[in-house]
Chain A
């Protein structure tokens, strides 16, 4: 498979003190959608901006499309479409004028009209940027990247702060770009986004990659693919939580906000045992659900924290 982006032992230290990125290795193949998943402040933006050639790494090697930013910057820029986190485009230009401006920087841009059409901005083409909704602004940011007719699309938190409908709209746009053999690198702190959109992803925490693979692989690696969540009341004081760990099939136990989460392999073995244990303790079951394990559970198992906590 053709490699689109590669980096080895990437490190970035700010002011000789803050280590934002501490030894990241990544290989991203042409045509795939790769996600950097992690909480805020994990080093996602620093990593993607180094790969975009906007930040100089303190040490480490970066290659994009087989080229180096130091020696082939212009050539590479022609083939990258980039959407930064929180760019506020000029409010007094219209949508079309903005996309035309960005198109003018590239030697062989896409047609402005077709990009506007693809991102459902045709109706808003003559509206000022200042009058757009959050979702429309985010689509415009992606439009300024797509009009480059890029081979690689970098998206830093493309759906942060968007309503569910706008997010799904953007996912669809990214998939269409992928269908045209485009490579996508995106950062997100949304689990569902990473799970549904990305072919592969790296979970990043404190500037390091702590897990990498397809979403299914990462979940499969988890001990216990199902989660049983329950809440009880009326327990005698001093009861030991250890009892849950000894139920059949339980791989892990977490307690959060009065809710117990059991990671289990076979729910049908665990649940009857759970019910009789609750009965034995003379407690009452207030809540019981089961679900498939998600990337959130992977992250919690790896770090002991939730993604959105920070």
Chain B
């Protein structure tokens, strides 16, 4: 090629490779419908499904059955006179049918009456059964004239901020950042290694750091969309109130996305086959799905495992997100959780770089 032409040709700047890698990655993601579904569609469906399943129903009605006898009508009358009558639905059946339906779970409680008084048949393992026994007993006692020694007032706490969906949305954001970080980085890396694309890249003057940086940056772009989508969805559909600052949420999201990207990179640093890295990724994520309080509070686990659970990166991410989104906690109050996340990210990144294989 002539020299004049060579000089006229534009020279690539320092960051040309990085921008093209990032651009290529974004285009690839955008052209993969299954990625769009798993990253954006699936968490929304999960939020919608769980939000509906656990929505706050108008105070639960207890379904109970009364065994037919000479005094069953008296029980029905008593229940109808009680202040709890709205919360109790009672059917009258013969003993055999009543016990059968109780076993099948249609009724929470079997009530019968003989000369010695009222008998309750309940299942201590079923919370609604225990509850129904107390409710019915209260109803029968007060309808028969029991006076309460002190007067009490109960208020239902079902306003935004204290419902299950409020607990769920930050957890789903955390889980989604983990999923897409692990798959987005781990899977993509092994896929490119298997295709010998990584080897082809390092046969060019491409800077290896630029490649990893572009991979991480693509995660950050997706992270902003993921977080905005889930928060927006929660606000719109379930009237979720975001108490904390959006900037703080984004900063925590960035840290989460980068840390899980690093964990994904470490998981994928040597694997040669998609199949083997898929197993590894699931193995790494499994304990966090269970223990890190995505769907239910990890306080339910025994006390002695709590420190281990709090040391998991997803626990730190979920706790920080919940504190900021639900309680409006400032970023500075989340110092310890940020530290846990950052430590995981930094450690995994250093190890991943040390062990990384390009071919």
Interface residues on A, range: 20 to 34
Known A77-B204, A93-B28; judge A88-B197 contact (CB<8 A).
yes
Beta-carbon contacts of B12-25 to A below 8 Å, as 1s and 0s?
10001101110010
Q: Does A107 contact B (CB under 8 A)?
A: yes
A residues near B12, Cβ cutoff 8 Å: 103-109
* B199 and A104 contact, CB distance less than 8 A: no
B residues near A107, Cβ cutoff 8 Å: 11-12, 205
> Interface-forming stretch among A2-10, A15-23, A79-87, A161-169?
A79-87
B residues near A128, Cβ cutoff 8 Å: 31
Q: Does A148 contact B (CB under 8 A)?
A: yes
Name the distance in Å between A131's Cβ and chain B's nearest Cβ: 12
* B20 and A101 contact, CB distance less than 8 A: yes
| Contact for A101 among B11, B21, B31, B205, CB less than 8 A | B21
| Complex Cα–Cα for A110 and B5 (A) | 10
Name the distance in Å between B38's Cβ and chain A's nearest Cβ: 16
Q: Does B284 contact A (CB under 8 A)?
A: no
* A100 and B20 contact, CB distance less than 8 A: yes
Name the distance in Å between A57's Cβ and chain B's nearest Cβ: 15
Known A87-B197, A90-B24, A149-B1; judge A104-B19 contact (CB<8 A).
yes
Known A84-B196, A84-B203, A106-B205; judge A92-B32 contact (CB<8 A).
yes
Considering only residues 96-120 of chain A, those with a C-beta below 8 Å from chain B are: 97, 100-111
Known A84-B196, A93-B28, A108-B11; judge A74-B205 contact (CB<8 A).
yes
* A88 and B24 contact, CB distance less than 8 A: no
Q: Does B6 contact A (CB under 8 A)?
A: yes
How many A-B contacts at CB < 8 Å in the complex? 82
* B203 and A82 contact, CB distance less than 8 A: yes
Q: Which residue of A lies closest to B6 (CB)?
A: A108
Considering only residues 3-52 of chain B, those with a C-beta below 8 Å from chain A are: 6, 9, 11-12, 16-17, 19-21, 24, 27-28, 31-32
Q: Which residue of A lies closest to B18 (CB)?
A: A104
Known A54-B359, A88-B197, A90-B197; judge A106-B24 contact (CB<8 A).
no
Name the distance in Å between A101's Cβ and chain B's nearest Cβ: 5
| Contact for A89 among B9, B197, B359, CB less than 8 A | B197
Considering only residues 227-277 of chain A, those with a C-beta below 8 Å from chain B are: none
| Contact for B195 among A82, A87, A92, A180, CB less than 8 A | A87
Q: Does B213 contact A (CB under 8 A)?
A: no
| Contact for A77 among B9, B16, B27, B203, CB less than 8 A | B203
Q: Does B305 contact A (CB under 8 A)?
A: no
* A87 and B205 contact, CB distance less than 8 A: no
B residues near A109, Cβ cutoff 8 Å: 9, 12
| Complex Cα–Cα for A102 and B203 (A) | 10
* A92 and B203 contact, CB distance less than 8 A: no
Known A106-B205, A108-B6; judge A84-B200 contact (CB<8 A).
yes
* B195 and A88 contact, CB distance less than 8 A: yes
Considering only residues 242-276 of chain B, those with a C-beta below 8 Å from chain A are: none
| Complex Cα–Cα for A133 and B12 (A) | 31
B residues near A108, Cβ cutoff 8 Å: 6, 9, 11-12
A residues near B204, Cβ cutoff 8 Å: 77, 82, 102, 105-106, 148
B residues near A199, Cβ cutoff 8 Å: none
Q: Does B206 contact A (CB under 8 A)?
A: yes
| Complex Cα–Cα for A246 and B28 (A) | 68
Q: Which residue of B lies closest to A85 (CB)?
A: B196
Beta-carbon contacts of A55-92 to B below 8 Å, as 1s and 0s?
00000000000000000001001101010101111101
* A97 and B27 contact, CB distance less than 8 A: yes
* A90 and B28 contact, CB distance less than 8 A: yes
Name the distance in Å between B214's Cβ and chain A's nearest Cβ: 11
Known A54-B359, A108-B9; judge A180-B1 contact (CB<8 A).
yes
A residues near B200, Cβ cutoff 8 Å: 82, 84, 87, 89, 144
B residues near A105, Cβ cutoff 8 Å: 12, 16-17, 20, 201, 204-206
| Complex Cα–Cα for A54 and B203 (A) | 7
Considering only residues 107-162 of chain A, those with a C-beta below 8 Å from chain B are: 107-111, 128, 144, 148-149
| Complex Cα–Cα for A87 and B16 (A) | 23
| Contact for B16 among A104, A149, A180, CB less than 8 A | A104
* A78 and B205 contact, CB distance less than 8 A: yes
* A80 and B203 contact, CB distance less than 8 A: yes
Considering only residues 51-96 of chain B, those with a C-beta below 8 Å from chain A are: none
* A54 and B28 contact, CB distance less than 8 A: no
* B196 and A92 contact, CB distance less than 8 A: no
Q: Does B202 contact A (CB under 8 A)?
A: yes
| Complex Cα–Cα for A111 and B359 (A) | 29
| Complex Cα–Cα for A97 and B204 (A) | 16
| Complex Cα–Cα for A179 and B16 (A) | 30
* A92 and B16 contact, CB distance less than 8 A: no
Q: Does A52 contact B (CB under 8 A)?
A: yes
A residues near B202, Cβ cutoff 8 Å: 54
Beta-carbon contacts of B179-200 to A below 8 Å, as 1s and 0s?
0000000000000000111011
* B27 and A93 contact, CB distance less than 8 A: yes
B residues near A144, Cβ cutoff 8 Å: 200
* B24 and A97 contact, CB distance less than 8 A: yes
| Complex Cα–Cα for A215 and B3 (A) | 35
| Complex Cα–Cα for A4 and B205 (A) | 19
**CB-CB nearest 7 A-B residue pairs:** A104-B20, A88-B195, A77-B205, A105-B206, A105-B204, A82-B203, A92-B31
Please name 12 pairs of A and B residues whose Cβ atoms are closer than 8 Å in the assembled complex, sorted by A: A52-B203, A54-B203, A87-B195, A88-B196, A89-B195, A90-B28, A93-B27, A97-B24, A103-B12, A104-B21, A106-B204, A109-B12
Beyond A105-B17, A105-B206, A144-B200, 20 additional contacts (C-beta under 8 Å) are: A74-B205, A77-B205, A78-B205, A80-B203, A86-B196, A87-B199, A88-B195, A90-B28, A93-B27, A93-B28, A100-B20, A104-B20, A105-B201, A105-B205, A106-B204, A106-B205, A107-B12, A108-B6, A108-B12, A149-B1
